[in-house]
Amino acid sequence: MALTPAEAGGARLPIFPLGVVLFPETRLPLHLFEPRYRQLLADIEQGDRRFGIVTTIPGVGERDLPAGRAGCVAVLSDVERLPDGRANIIVSGGPRFALQRFVPDSAPYHVAEVAWVPDEPVGSRVALAVASDEVAANFRRVIRALQEVNGEEAPLPTLPDDPAQLAWSIGAMIDLELDARHALLADRAPASRLARVDALLRKVLPDLELRAAMARGSRGG
Tell me which of 116, 145, 180 is where a domain ends: 116
pLDDT digits (tens, 9 = 90+) for 150-161: 988 889 999 999
One domain for residues 35 and 131: no
Pick the last residue of a domain from 116, 140, 160.
Answer: 116
Residue 178, in any domain of the structure: yes
Q: What is the DSSP letter of 109?
A: S
Q: How many domains does the chain have?
A: 2
Q: Is residue 188 part of a domain?
A: yes
Q: Are residues 150 and 84 in the same domain?
A: no
- What is the distance in angstroms between the CA of the first residue and the CA of the last residue of the chain? 57
For every residue of 34-91, DSSP letters joined together read SHHHHHHHHHHHTTTSEEEEEE--TTS-GGGPPTT-EEEEEEEEEEEE-TTS-EEEEE
* Domain's final residue, options 98, 116, 134: 116
Tens of pLDDT, residues 87-115:
999 999 999 999 999 999 999 999 999 99
CATH of the domain at 25: 2.30.130.40
- What pLDDT is stored for residue 221 in this prediction? 53
C-alpha dihedral sign at 1, 40, 100, 23: negative
Provide the domain limits for residue 160: 125-218
